[in-house]
Amino acid sequence: MLRPVEDVAKSGIALAGIQENVKIETPQKTRKEGSTMDGVTVIAHPLVQHKLTIMRRKETSTSSFRRLLREISTLLCYEVTRDLELTMETIETPLTEMQSPILEGKKLVFASILRAGNGLLEGMLELVPAARVAHVGVYRDHETLQAVEYYFKAPDALSERLIIVVDPMLATGNSSIAAIEKLKERGAKNIRFLCLLAAPEGIKNFHAAHPDVPIFTASIDSHLNEKGYIMPGLGDAGDRMYGTK
């Protein structure tokens, strides 16, 4: 039986809910501290921001970039799953029987937008190894900037699961919008989107298409350039992760 968060807290577990309207606290000079944006959570943990800075550096090697992406994804996963529902279960420790909290409901799903999403996926699976995985093959046409779909594979019963869609960059938003549309077509209802960087233009487009899907990111950068890249950004996450151009 699902127990309210208040009841679980009384059992000695301290839980913090994620607010829909959040205070954005990010050290980048491109945004003022204390600004707010509905439906966006900026994860400003010092370790997240430190690792992100190293990833942004143009001299960071492919192997270091890939390692840092795996490390930062674990930290981001911790925040995006902060308010998962718990139930109480009777267990036996080596000393006694007790009531202890455990995750409620069906296994959650991590949905990776190929190919760069797999960089976030690896670290998240280290934290939640029992999670199910969906793969959505979508790429951005560099001429039209529109999303082109080429692959989709997901677990069953999406309507009964929390789906966390992952992609390092929310630039124009076209790829993530298309991926989430595909998941909704298959019944997904409870969806969150997790990325490393987001552009204001991408957030606007994303919320226009999916106002019910909250965004979690490590940084909201300044703007998109004429080629649709996030500025100041970190370049193409897929290319930097796999050493391609």
The pLDDT value recorded for residue 140 is: 67
In a domain? residue 67: yes
Q: Is the full-model pTM beyond 0.85?
A: no
In a domain? residue 39: yes
In a domain? residue 8: no
d(CA 238, CA 131): 23
The pLDDT value recorded for residue 27 is: 36
Number of domains, the chain: 1
Q: CATH no. for residue 150?
A: 3.40.50.2020
Per-residue pLDDT tens digits for 130-185: 999 999 997 767 777 677 788 999 999 999 999 999 999 999 999 899 999 999 99
In a domain? residue 7: no
**Which of 55, 50, 64, 81 minimizes the C-alpha distance to 166?**
81
Q: Sort 3 into a burial class: Cβ within 10 Å, 0-12 / 13-18 / 19+.
A: middle
In a domain? residue 105: yes
Q: Could you list the residue range(s) of the whole structural domain that residue 59 is in?
A: 24-242
In a domain? residue 221: yes
In a domain? residue 182: yes
Q: Sort 161 into a burial class: Cβ within 10 Å, 0-12 / 13-18 / 19+.
A: buried
